[in-house]
Structure 1
């Protein structure tokens, strides 16, 4: 009975030891390593936000850049606190599991010790060698004596295993107690970190309220800046769409010219064949007339000399003229878009589309401060602002790089928006606005990640800026859906 109990007890102990890992895998929840990695990533982003805030604070006045940097910090720190709370919940779960395991192991250890004590008492009472020999030799047969001897041997081995199991259970219990102590220390450290982060979060919110209050006192100035930016953005949009329309018109004229040249070539081929057929008909007619004259002359000579008639071998008919080749039609395209009229342009468009959501950022480091489309202003909430692309804040003079290979179709300067570089990718156009300098020119072939210029500087907010726009034909696209997520 005791032996059967031990066989069942050891697997149970193993299950108790592995239970936390098994439950974690079944619930499909983030692991401790995931939380730790996410915590490091958030801390890194917070450090970057602090650097961005330092740059904006170098300005003599409060700016939207400071407000955006503070809001970004608050968002990131809130995520960090949530991450720490998840980690604390994880630790609490481990502590509760450790408590249950310790209680179970202590109970099992007490049971094992009690049973072992009973074995010791029984062994003590039957410690006499005479009693053991008498137990063996009192058997009724030799086979019975062998079985009794085997029983005594197994009994000794069982006592040894019982003692080993008690020692192992005691070691396992000690490990669990040590693990519980470590988990409590981790929880205490996580709670302290969470309290420190909450205090810093409150300080950030107070600073945000102060900056917001001061900015609202400059509402007229901000409204004037908003109107100026709207006007500059409209000028950029009109210029870009004008270039795209010219591209479409140029492609349409090129396609029409190619089609006209193809039709002229077909008509010229038809005229050549018609003339060849007419010449062939005239040649046949002349040959037939010559044959008739020769036949009449032969008949006169035959009547005078009465030669035996000779049959003439009929000439084979001339071969028919070659059938005209069917008109070649251009291969069907997926749409009637003239910007994809060539195989190269079509392949480039398809490649651009296949990289949707995987395109690189135009700057090495930065964050989006202006999202695509219409949204409320950060300070003057009654005014909506609309962006044709995304505005990325970066360091001053940061290198601006292409997000996909293509051809530079236009480099222009627009007052209030700096340099604008337009790159064509089949029927798609990527536009890089607010550049301070450029290193490419119209007609250049560029590759993915190639530097095309440097980011412009927003003097009011004292930071670098670049705007990325993506057009499909003349239709604006949301660049956040095309570039990689950070």
Structure 2
């Protein structure tokens, strides 16, 4: 009896663990599918925003940067698709094992059921049942025999229902198995195409890099010039932010040397709300991809050179509107000689910076709301590129925009 009970408990534990494992597999599959679709969407946007207009003459450096980004997305997509196919393989193997086990169980159940039917047929006459009851030595024995007949009949029905349930489960598993095999085949084919495209992109990248290596002095000079221009704009932005901090402290009667804003109760409340929405803020453009992320990273041209990005560079579509990521006040509109305009929006002691604009829709001092259009992103007519440079500051300190913007 104890052994039977122990066996039953072990069976229940195995069923429970199997259920938990199956659910974990299902959840993982959903996560991978969501990530795969996200990467496919990113690839579509990338092709649309960076590679659609082939008539435009991009310089080699820009082409290498774009190809680097495309290759990295393609590699991620291949990896995720491969992981998904491998997980499906495990699911298929698991289902095949379940199908095999169910078939064995069904065979045994049907044999037992057939034996019961034969036995019932042999003893089916009402007379034999009556004689079985009447031959009892006392009432108690007769009652027990009656209960036995009822239990036997119920057990027959139960066996029949179990056969029906297991047959239905077997059919469902067979259907799932066919679907899983189809899904896996689609993923394998998708990866085969993606790998061919990756090979072509890597060859194109190598050709471009060969042309750069043959004249590295020229391209290094171009990079230095671009960095010099960027540094000039950065210094002006930093200067104006420090001036705004000093002005807020002077107005509050505090030291002008403070590196933090002196906040009014209203500004404190706005900053607190901004902080509460960390990671949930909308993108500064409706449609775009991040070409360069925040922080130190190797140069696309020379891996020994480190680039320190103070914000993110977002490629978007021609005519794209730039929008405020949160409620605030237009602190500055910067017109820098030989550069495109910059808008700074203040949110308490936080600042968001929108650089490389062609049109401005707001004025200094204007109150703005989240997703309100501030202007239009500049499009380089010779290359066809539309790039927004976006930053987040807390007082005078730079923040990683990816920590603030939803799914950046």
TM-score by length of structure 1 reads: 0.70
Sort the Cα spacing of 1:208 and 1:154 in 2 relative to 1 into closer, same or farther, 3 A: same
**Matched residue count:** 402
Q: Which residue of 2 aligns with 1:95?
A: 92
Q: 2:302 aligns with which of 380, 385, 392?
A: 380
Structure 2 gap ranges (5+): none
Higher relative contact order (CA 8 A, sep 6+): 2
Assess, with a 3 A threshold, how the Cα gap between structure 1 residues 33 and 372 changes in structure 2: closer, same or farther.
Answer: closer
- Find out whether 1:412 has 2:365 as its counterpart: no
> Where do 1:170-189 residues align within 5 Å?
170-189=167-186
Deviation at 1:470, TM superposition (A): 3.3
Contact 2:391 2:398 in 1 (8 A): yes
Q: Does 1:76 align with 2:76?
A: no
Matched, 1:361 2:283: yes
CA radius of gyration, larger in = 1
Tell me: CA distance 1:380–1:187, structure 2 relative to 1, closer, same or farther (3 Å). closer
Which 5+ residue runs of structure 1 have no aligned equivalent?
260-332
- C-alpha distance after superposition, 1:61-108 (max 9, x if no partner): 553343333333322232222322332233223322223223322322
Q: How does 1:33-112 map to 2 (within 5 A)?
A: 33-55=30-52, 57-112=54-109
Superposed counterparts of 1:155-174, under 5 Å? 155-174=152-171
Corresponding residue of 1:444: 366
Q: Which residue of 1 aligns with 2:344?
A: 422
Q: In structure 2, the residue corresponding to 1:231 is in which secondary structure?
A: helix
**Alpha-carbon distance, 1:459 to partner:** 4.8
When residues 65 and 234 of structure 1 are mapped into structure 2, their CA distance, relative to the original with a 3 A threshold, is closer
* 1:481 aligns with one of 395, 403, 406: 403
- Of residues 431, 440, 445, the one that matches 2:353 is 431
Alignment match, 1:197: 194
The CA distance in 2 between the partners of 1:440 and 1:37, in whole Å, is 38
TM-score by length of 2: 0.81
Question: What displacement does 1:159 show?
Answer: 4.1
Going from structure 1 to structure 2, the CA distance change for 1:185 and 1:367 (only over 3 Å counts) comes to closer
Cα distance in 1 between the residues matched to 2:289 and 2:146: 83
Contact conserved, 2:110 with 2:163, CA < 8 A, in 1?
yes
How far off its partner does 1:340 sit? 1.3
Q: CA RMSD in A?
A: 3.7
Of 225, 229, 236 in structure 2, the residue corresponding to residue 232 of structure 1 is 229
| Residue range with higher mean Cα deviation, 399-408 or 208-217 | 208-217
| C-alpha distance 81-341 of structure 1, shift in aligned 2 (>3 A) | closer
1:242-253 correspondence runs (5 A): 242-253=239-250
Separation (CA, whole Å) in 1 of partners of 2:279 and 2:235: 27
d(CA) in 2 for partners of 1:252, 1:157:
87
Are the aligned partners of 1:368 and 1:391 in contact in 2 as well (CA < 8 Å)? yes
Q: Give the C-alpha shift of residue 451 in structure 1.
A: 1.9
1:358 alignment partner, SS class: coil
C-alpha deviation, 1:463, in angstroms: 0.5
Deviates more, 1:32-41 or 1:149-158: 149-158
Indicate the larger mover: 448-457 or 235-244.
235-244
**Partner Cα separation in structure 1 for residue 237 and residue 68 of structure 2:** 33
Distance 1:136 1:102, change over 3 A: same
